[in-house]
């Protein structure tokens, strides 16, 4: 039997055509990285300070010898409750705001009215552009000692992020069901409730738990700037450089993060593979009920009273701060400083990402839990890498900045590296999670044809993971821009340091200008990373 | 233990006060906290209570003892309910003093001036004997090879770090004395650092990342006595004396607590503490003396000059 | 080759000799895919023994085991392809057993072994799509890419899980011819799960029927009439 394909003439092989846009973005990123490293003085004078290894060693050695006296541990346990309460109440507020905000920024809402959609997105850049700590600083001048400060400082920026994520999720749901409902005469809201929300629900729940874990870390940063809880204890011990106590607080924080992560993981697993039963899933029900109870307890524990938000004093303080803050300062010196510091800020964030992204990609493999059985050695290695990443993100950036400054000379670099190792902790976890959720079949097939582990990873994992990891990385780049406020005061601080000093000297007009600059920078970064995402898709 | 005192003006690298009153109550016992307060802040705290604050610029365990002692002593002497709130940073304390959340605050020189300017009617109450003539110590890394001297110009070419940005003894006054000596206080190579606390300044100078720094002389002495100073750090110079810490009373406190002569009674209480009193012990002082606003005129002037008071 | 296992399969005792072309038939869930996974090493047997090309993979370690698996090629309904990679990289993945990690990495930037990859793609009629993203190809085209990967791998034992499910009759015949030639040219064997009785008749010489994880039929194709075969599939589906 002779079988021939219907190819009368053999087609010429087309030339290999490189995707110009992707190459342009790649080369552009490399150029920006070199520019940033040059700005950090890496190609110039010395950056290392070997004399400080003893100080760094003291910090590192204390990791093995944390303070464990009963009184201090009791203090930490009570502080952890405060941190949890702020995180839970803040997340709840963020989700509520996010749900409302998502309506405002969803393409579905705006339809073809693109200008309105762009304006709404721009509006969201304002709460998102300011770090939680900055929100805390601003709110304390309005609300004083009220616990709302901590809750709002988490809830407002997270609400804006959540709104964006929810809107993207809803917008990505296929339109068919929604259109059918609209065609059948359903109103917009009803159609969205029945046609758009159910398919997006899984992603939403998963995002909610991710936010909770982030909120725990944010609550600690807020604690460091005063909101009480673990971060407050950490700040006290950090100020007198009692590293043993700092590590105890870090371990307590790591434990909280781990709990949030484990809960989120259980929920995601259940959503991805629901048990084959018509009844409600007990794990999911418990998670939802537990969350509601936790939020209720948090509001009670923090003694949140809505009246405080609209009290006469708050209104009066708002009036006086606004009067002092308007018009913004526009003197040339300030604007020039802002310009120079914006450059520092961008360079710091780029270096931070350049540290975090390759690290995260390399560690994602070992950190991901293998789908099937695995050797004990592999499991131990995986646990160690995951624990390492957890500690990297549990040590707050200001602590990293100080201890790195022991072994590096002052400049952009210590702060950038501090953000880099912290971001590595976060991004490594996200990348590992993305790897776990990949289709395992391509890699299994490659192993089955005898490929080496490195080859199987290059051809079966990397191409699949690159997309989601890059999306996470671009998002963390935006976050790193805001986080420069945490590592700023030593050496070169970027806009964050300037903001902190203007706030310390109560120069409200200058504060307004710097805030505007930070928001614009965040917005530009958002725009650039949006374009980059589109090009890499 | 007594060598650890209220001594550091910088405060930790922190910008806000602890916002949860519950957190503090929890310190006394979580169950008690739960029982005492179930609703909003203003309802939970007694309206007539005197709200006292101080920056936790000493070691945390001292802080824990401090607030009980001071609150009890003031409460006993004035027959008032006293609530004590440790605050993690002076700038936040300034805001809380302005909003009226804190009535009586232990301020540094500069932040006291900031608070007074933002809160018309605020009055200084008392200061420690040592606060009338407080000093800062300039320290250098031994690697610089500098011998102790009064010549601050030798510091100009060094990498230099202050403490907290609005610290009087770790920033404002040293910057002033540097300028007096002809050194641009912002002109150090790479710009000056702000370590965030006096202990961090010591560690950074010990590491050599910064070759020189400046800190509160009381912390310097206390750490020297404890033997906690790295041998790589040596004293280079000590600044001339200036006025620093003081208790500041808010304008609304007298009316709210229903004690018209509150300021005088507080001043009498502090200045009348007998030598060896636990409160004096905690504050590392042999006596409190009356304080006047004019004591800090020079600080205000310098603060304006350096752009730290607006 | 002998398989004996008790996972989704129980009491299976099957031996395939060199030069044989064996069709696996049975309803979905009958254990065909599990049997193929046992044979290519992606699933270890929970009990029993698997011998592949005369060796026991469980007794081998590291490099030796990889060398063994390099001689076994599998087509899995194109699910093993990575959509984001260009077609040529998915084909070249068949050579990863030979390539060093560095060469594998460099090939992603500058494709290596291009003549062989293009020749293999030409065999399946896709040479003109070599540099396209695989996800842009149709289901049938992707199945042909998976076959091209096998062509560059040059395995001795060819395993295939419904390799022609998305192909039209002409292309399906072409694909099975390629797989059969590939297997027998090197003295190996072909073990293929198939649903189409016509393809079984034309390309295989032995039929193994699975049901509920057990072998229920094992006979030469020639011994089965067209009606028998059709009946077998009728019962199976």
In a domain, A12, yes or no: no
Q: Determine the Cα–Cα distance for residues B109 and B246; give it in Å rounded to an integer.
A: 7
State the CATH number of the domain containing residue A233: 1.10.3720.10
Overall average pLDDT of the C54-64 stretch: 78
In a domain, C76, yes or no: no
Is residue C90 domain-shared with residue C188, that is, in the same domain? Answer: no
Of the residues B16, B36, B40, B41, the best mutation for testing chain A's interface (the one with the most A CB atoms within 10 Å of its CB) is B16
Nearest Cα of chain A lies from the Cα of B272 at a distance, in angstroms, of: 31
Is residue C59 domain-shared with residue C168, that is, in the same domain? Answer: yes
Is residue A293 domain-shared with residue A154, that is, in the same domain? Answer: yes
Is residue A284 domain-shared with residue A393, that is, in the same domain? Answer: no
Nearest Cα of chain A lies from the Cα of B276 at a distance, in angstroms, of: 26
- What's the number of domains chain B is made of? 2
Is residue B26 domain-shared with residue B106, that is, in the same domain? Answer: yes
Is residue C199 domain-shared with residue C179, that is, in the same domain? Answer: yes
Does the beta-carbon distance from B56 to A51 stay under 8 Å? no
B209, A408 in Cβ contact below 8 A? yes
B194, B210 in Cβ contact below 8 A? no
C/A Cβ contact: 3+ pairs below 8 Å: yes
Is residue B223 domain-shared with residue B300, that is, in the same domain? Answer: no
Q: Which of B202, B217, B238 is the last residue of a domain?
A: B238
Of the residues C93, C116, C144, C182, the best mutation for testing chain A's interface (the one with the most A CB atoms within 10 Å of its CB) is C93
Residue A3 confidence (pLDDT): 46
A337 at B interface, C-beta within 8 A? no
Using 50, 70 and 90 to split pLDDT, how confident is the model at A131? confident
Answer whether residue B178 shows pLDDT above 50: yes
> Of C155, C3, C149, C17, which is closest to residue C73 (Cα–Cα)?
C155
Q: Taking a contact as any Cβ pair under 8 Å apart, which residues of chain A between 98 and 157 contact chain B? A: 133, 136-137, 140-141, 143-147, 149-150
Is residue C12 domain-shared with residue C36, that is, in the same domain? Answer: yes
Does the beta-carbon distance from B190 to A491 stay under 8 Å? yes
Is residue C98 domain-shared with residue C133, that is, in the same domain? Answer: yes
> Of A289, A207, A254, A252, which is closest to residue A72 (Cα–Cα)?
A252
Partner residue opposite A227 with nearest CB, options B20, B24, B307 = B20
In a domain, A11, yes or no: no
Is residue B92 domain-shared with residue B116, that is, in the same domain? Answer: yes
Residues in chain A within 8 Å Cβ distance of B57: 239
Of the residues B4, B8, B19, B25, the best mutation for testing chain A's interface (the one with the most A CB atoms within 10 Å of its CB) is B19
Is residue C35 domain-shared with residue C61, that is, in the same domain? Answer: yes
Q: Give the C-alpha distances (Å, rounded to integers) separating C206 from A58, C13, C161, C189.
A: 73, 15, 16, 11
In a domain, B70, yes or no: yes
Q: Which residues of B142-168 are buried (b: 16+ CB within 10 A; e: fewer)?
A: eebebeeeeebebbbebbbbbbbbbbb
A73 at B interface, C-beta within 8 A? no
Using 50, 70 and 90 to split pLDDT, how confident is the model at A210? confident
A317, A141 in Cβ contact below 8 A? yes
Residue A236 confidence (pLDDT): 80
Q: Which residues of A387-417 are buried (b: 16+ CB within 10 A; e: fewer)?
A: eebbbbbbbbbbbbbbbbbbbbbbbbbbbbb
Q: Which of B238, B257, B281 is the last residue of a domain?
A: B238
Using 50, 70 and 90 to split pLDDT, how confident is the model at A378? confident
Residues in chain A within 8 Å Cβ distance of B15: 133, 136-137, 225-226, 500, 503-504
Does the beta-carbon distance from C104 to A454 stay under 8 Å? yes
Nearest Cα of chain A lies from the Cα of B26 at a distance, in angstroms, of: 7
Domain span at C118: 81-154
The per-residue pLDDT for range A509-533, each reduced to its tens digit, is: 998 998 888 888 888 888 888 788 7
* Shortest CA distance from B204: residue in chain A: A406
- What's the number of domains chain C is made of? 2
Is residue B203 domain-shared with residue B300, that is, in the same domain? Answer: no
Q: Taking a contact as any Cβ pair under 8 Å apart, which residues of chain A between 355 and 384 contact chain B? A: none
Of the residues B9, B12, B15, B20, the best mutation for testing chain A's interface (the one with the most A CB atoms within 10 Å of its CB) is B20
Is residue B257 domain-shared with residue B112, that is, in the same domain? Answer: yes
Is residue C119 domain-shared with residue C173, that is, in the same domain? Answer: no
The per-residue pLDDT for range C79-116, each reduced to its tens digit, is: 788 888 889 999 998 888 888 888 888 888 888 888 88
Does the beta-carbon distance from B63 to A410 stay under 8 Å? no
For chain B, list the contacting chains (3+ Cβ pairs, <8 Å). Answer: A
3-state secondary structure of A14: coil
In a domain, B3, yes or no: no
The per-residue pLDDT for range B15-53, each reduced to its tens digit, is: 333 433 333 333 333 322 333 333 333 333 456 788 888
In a domain, A376, yes or no: yes
Does the beta-carbon distance from C97 to A451 stay under 8 Å? yes
Is residue B182 domain-shared with residue B127, that is, in the same domain? Answer: no
Partner residue opposite A441 with nearest CB, options C80, C127, C171 = C80
Counted across chains A and B, CB pairs separated by less than 8 A come out at 246
Q: Determine the Cα–Cα distance for residues A455 and C93; give it in Å rounded to an integer.
A: 8
Is residue C18 domain-shared with residue C67, that is, in the same domain? Answer: yes
A222 at B interface, C-beta within 8 A? yes
In a domain, C96, yes or no: yes
Q: Is A466 exposed, middle or buried (0-12, 13-18, 19+ CB in 10 A)?
A: middle
C/B Cβ contact: 3+ pairs below 8 Å: no
Residues in chain A within 8 Å Cβ distance of C170: 3, 5-6
Cross-strand partners of C215: C210
Q: Determine the Cα–Cα distance for residues C223 and C221; give it in Å rounded to an integer.
A: 5
State the CATH number of the domain containing residue B98: 3.40.190.10
Q: Is B207 exposed, middle or buried (0-12, 13-18, 19+ CB in 10 A)?
A: buried
Does the beta-carbon distance from C104 to A458 stay under 8 Å? yes
Residues in chain A within 8 Å Cβ distance of B141: 51
In a domain, C235, yes or no: yes
Nearest Cα of chain A lies from the Cα of B114 at a distance, in angstroms, of: 8
Nearest Cα of chain A lies from the Cα of C180 at a distance, in angstroms, of: 13
Nearest Cα of chain A lies from the Cα of C201 at a distance, in angstroms, of: 13
Is residue A402 domain-shared with residue A514, that is, in the same domain? Answer: yes
Torsion angles phi and psi, residue C14, rounded to 5: -135, 135
* Shortest CA distance from A405: residue in chain B: B209
Using 50, 70 and 90 to split pLDDT, how confident is the model at A359? very high
Residues in chain C within 8 Å Cβ distance of A6: 170
Answer whether residue A135 shows pLDDT above 90: no
Using 50, 70 and 90 to split pLDDT, how confident is the model at C221? confident
Is residue B115 domain-shared with residue B249, that is, in the same domain? Answer: yes
3-state secondary structure of A206: helix
Is residue C162 domain-shared with residue C191, that is, in the same domain? Answer: yes
The residue that leads in pLDDT, A6 or B57, is B57
A324 at B interface, C-beta within 8 A? no
Is residue A44 domain-shared with residue A71, that is, in the same domain? Answer: no
- A416 alpha-carbon distance from chain centroid: 16
Domain span at B27: 21-131+244-305
Is residue B49 domain-shared with residue B187, that is, in the same domain? Answer: no
Of the residues A11, A20, A21, A450, the best mutation for testing chain C's interface (the one with the most C CB atoms within 10 Å of its CB) is A450
Is residue B33 domain-shared with residue B156, that is, in the same domain? Answer: no
In a domain, A91, yes or no: yes
Is residue C52 domain-shared with residue C87, that is, in the same domain? Answer: no
Does the beta-carbon distance from A455 to C104 stay under 8 Å? yes
> Of A82, A403, A402, A395, which is closest to residue A251 (Cα–Cα)?
A395
> Of A420, A285, A407, which is closest to residue A349 (Cα–Cα)?
A420
Is residue B65 domain-shared with residue B123, that is, in the same domain? Answer: yes
Is residue C214 domain-shared with residue C200, that is, in the same domain? Answer: yes
Torsion angles phi and psi, residue A32, rounded to 5: -65, -35
Q: Name the percent of chain A lying above pLDDT 70.
A: 91
Using 50, 70 and 90 to split pLDDT, how confident is the model at A11? low
Is residue B212 domain-shared with residue B83, that is, in the same domain? Answer: no
In a domain, B220, yes or no: yes
The per-residue pLDDT for range B202-256, each reduced to its tens digit, is: 999 999 989 999 998 988 998 999 898 999 999 999 999 998 889 999 998 888 8
A317 at B interface, C-beta within 8 A? yes
Does the beta-carbon distance from C101 to A452 stay under 8 Å? yes
For chain A, list the contacting chains (3+ Cβ pairs, <8 Å). Answer: B, C
- Stated as kind and residue range, the H or E segment containing C118 is helix C114-123
* Shortest CA distance from A151: residue in chain B: B19
Cross-strand partners of C220: C206
In a domain, B75, yes or no: yes
Overall average pLDDT of the A201-229 stretch: 79
Is residue C99 domain-shared with residue C24, that is, in the same domain? Answer: no
Domain span at A257: 67-325
Q: Which of B204, B238, B272 is the last residue of a domain?
A: B238
Partner residue opposite A3 with nearest CB, options C71, C92, C173 = C173
The per-residue pLDDT for range C8-56, each reduced to its tens digit, is: 677 777 888 888 889 988 877 778 888 888 888 777 777 777 888 878 8
Is residue A37 domain-shared with residue A104, that is, in the same domain? Answer: no
In a domain, B125, yes or no: yes
* Shortest CA distance from C157: residue in chain A: A449
A55 at C interface, C-beta within 8 A? no
In a domain, B232, yes or no: yes
Is residue B142 domain-shared with residue B228, that is, in the same domain? Answer: yes
Using 50, 70 and 90 to split pLDDT, how confident is the model at A24? confident
- What's the number of domains chain A is made of? 2
Does the beta-carbon distance from B191 to A78 stay under 8 Å? no
The residue that leads in pLDDT, B214 or A377, is B214
Nearest Cα of chain B lies from the Cα of A468 at a distance, in angstroms, of: 35
Counted across chains A and C, CB pairs separated by less than 8 A come out at 123
For chain C, list the contacting chains (3+ Cβ pairs, <8 Å). Answer: A
A474, A529 in Cβ contact below 8 A? yes
In a domain, C47, yes or no: yes
In a domain, A6, yes or no: no
State the CATH number of the domain containing residue C24: 3.40.50.300
């Amino acid at each position: 039997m002779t079988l021939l394909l219907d190819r009368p003439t053999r087609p010429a092989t087309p030339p290999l055509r490189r995707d110009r846009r992707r190459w342009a973005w790649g080369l552009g990123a490399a150029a920006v990285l070199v520019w940033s490293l040059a700005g950090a003085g890496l190609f110039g004078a010395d950056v290392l300070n070997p004399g400080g290894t003893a100080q760094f060693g003291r910090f590192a050695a204390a990791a093995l010898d944390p303070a464990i006296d009963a009184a201090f541990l009791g203090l930490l346990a009570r502080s952890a409750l405060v941190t949890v309460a702020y995180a839970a109440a803040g997340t709840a507020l963020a989700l509520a705001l996010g749900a409302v905000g998502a309506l405002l920024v969803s393409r579905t809402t705006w339809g073809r009215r693109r200008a309105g959609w762009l304006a709404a997105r721009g509006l969201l850049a304002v709460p998102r552009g300011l770090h939680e700590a900055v929100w805390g600083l601003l709110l304390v001048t309005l609300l004083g000692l009220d616990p709302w400060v901590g809750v709002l400082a988490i809830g407002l920026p997270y609400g804006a992020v959540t709104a964006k994520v929810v809107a993207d999720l809803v917008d990505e749901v296929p339109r068919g069901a929604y259109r059918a409902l609209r065609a059948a005469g359903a109103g917009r809201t009803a159609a969205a409730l029945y046609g758009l929300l159910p398919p997006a629900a899984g992603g939403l729940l998963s995002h909610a738990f991710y936010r909770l874990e982030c909120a725990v870390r944010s609550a600690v940063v807020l604690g460091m700037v005063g909101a009480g809880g673990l971060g407050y204890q950490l700040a006290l011990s950090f100020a007198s450089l009692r590293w043993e106590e700092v590590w105890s607080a870090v371990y307590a924080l790591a434990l909280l993060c781990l709990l949030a992560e484990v809960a989120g993981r259980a929920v995601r697993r259940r959503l991805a593979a629901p048990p084959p039963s018509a009844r409600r899933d007990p794990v999911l029900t418990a998670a939802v009920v537990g969350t509601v109870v936790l939020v209720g307890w948090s509001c009670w524990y923090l003694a949140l009273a809505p009246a405080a938000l609209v009290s006469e004093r708050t209104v009066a303080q708002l009036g006086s701060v606004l009067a002092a803050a308007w018009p913004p300062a526009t003197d040339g010196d300030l604007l020039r400083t802002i310009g120079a510091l914006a450059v520092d800020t961008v360079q710091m964030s780029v270096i931070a990402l350049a540290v975090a992204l390759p690290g995260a990609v390399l560690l994602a493999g070992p950190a991901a839990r293998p789908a099937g059985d695995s050797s004990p050695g592999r499991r131990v290695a995986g646990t160690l890498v995951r624990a390492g990443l957890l500690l990297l993100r549990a040590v707050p950036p200001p602590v990293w900045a100080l201890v790195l400054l022991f072994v590096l000379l002052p400049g952009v670099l210590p702060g950038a590296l501090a953000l880099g190792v912290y971001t590595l902790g976060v991004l490594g976890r996200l990348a590992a999670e993305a790897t776990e959720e990949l289709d395992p079949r391509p890699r299994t097939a490659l192993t089955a044809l005898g490929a080496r582990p490195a080859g199987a990873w290059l051809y079966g994992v990397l191409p699949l993971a690159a997309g989601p990891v890059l999306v996470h990385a671009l998002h963390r780049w935006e976050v790193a821009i805001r986080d420069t406020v945490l590592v700023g005061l030593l050496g070169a601080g970027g806009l964050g340091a300037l903001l902190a000093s203007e706030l310390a000297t109560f120069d409200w007009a200058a504060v307004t200008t710097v805030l505007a600059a930070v928001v614009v920078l965040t917005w530009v970064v958002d725009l650039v990373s949006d374009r980059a995402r589109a090009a890499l898709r | 233990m007594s060598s650890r005192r209220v001594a550091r003006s910088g405060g930790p690298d922190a910008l806000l006060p602890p916002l949860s009153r519950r957190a503090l109550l929890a310190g006394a016992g979580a169950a008690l906290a739960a029982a005492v307060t179930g609703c909003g802040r203003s309802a939970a705290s007694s309206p007539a209570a005197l709200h006292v604050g101080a920056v936790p610029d000493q070691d945390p365990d001292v802080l824990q003892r401090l607030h009980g002692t001071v609150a009890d002593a003031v409460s006993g002497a004035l027959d008032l309910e006293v609530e004590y709130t440790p605050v993690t940073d002076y700038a936040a304390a300034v805001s809380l003093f302005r909003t009226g959340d804190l009535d009586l605050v232990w301020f540094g020189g500069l932040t006291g001036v900031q608070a007074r300017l933002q809160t018309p009617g605020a009055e200084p109450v008392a200061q420690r004997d040592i606060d009338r003539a407080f000093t800062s110590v300039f320290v250098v890394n031994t690697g610089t090879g500098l011998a102790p001297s009064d010549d601050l110009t030798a510091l100009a070419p060094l990498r230099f770090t202050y403490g907290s940005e609005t610290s009087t003894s770790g920033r404002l006054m040293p910057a002033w004395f540097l300028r007096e000596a002809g050194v641009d206080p912002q002109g150090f190579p790479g710009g000056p650092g702000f370590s965030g606390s006096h202990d961090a300044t010591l560690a950074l100078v010990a590491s050599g990342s910064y070759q020189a720094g400046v800190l509160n002389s009381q912390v310097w002495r206390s750490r020297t006595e404890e033997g906690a100073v790295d041998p790589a750090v040596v004293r280079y110079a000590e600044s001339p004396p200036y006025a620093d810490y003081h208790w500041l009373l808010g304008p609304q406190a007298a009316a709210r607590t229903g004690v018209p002569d509150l300021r005088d009674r507080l001043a009498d209480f502090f200045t009348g503490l007998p030598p060896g009193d636990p409160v004096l012990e905690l504050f590392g002082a042999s006596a409190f003396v009356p304080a006047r606003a004019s004591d800090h005129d020079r600080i205000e002037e310098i603060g304006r000059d350096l752009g730290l008071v607006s | 080759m002998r398989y004996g296992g008790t996972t989704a399969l129980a009491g299976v005792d099957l031996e395939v000799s060199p030069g044989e072309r064996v069709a696996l038939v049975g309803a979905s869930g009958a254990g065909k895919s599990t049997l193929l996974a046992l044979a290519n090493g992606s699933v270890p047997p929970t009990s029993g023994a698997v011998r592949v090309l005369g060796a026991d993979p469980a007794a081998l370690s590291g490099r030796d085991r990889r060398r063994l698996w390099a001689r076994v090629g599998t087509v899995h309904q194109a699910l093993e392809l990575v959509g984001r990679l260009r077609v040529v990289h998915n084909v070249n993945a068949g050579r990863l057993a030979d390539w060093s990690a560095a060469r594998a990495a460099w090939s992603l930037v500058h494709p290596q072994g291009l003549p062989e990859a293009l020749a293999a793609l030409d065999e399946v009629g896709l040479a003109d799509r070599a540099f396209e993203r695989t996800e842009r190809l149709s289901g049938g085209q992707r199945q042909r890419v998976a076959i091209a990967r096998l062509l560059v791998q040059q395995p001795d034992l060819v395993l295939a899980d419904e390799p022609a499910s998305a192909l039209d009759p002409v292309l399906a015949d072409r694909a099975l011819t390629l797989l059969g030639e590939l297997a027998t040219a090197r003295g190996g064997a072909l073990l293929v799960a198939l649903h189409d009785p016509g393809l079984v008749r034309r390309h295989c010489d032995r039929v193994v029927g699975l049901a509920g994880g057990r072998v229920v039929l094992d006979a030469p194709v020639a011994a089965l009439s067209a009606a028998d075969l059709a009946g077998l599939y009728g019962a199976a589906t």
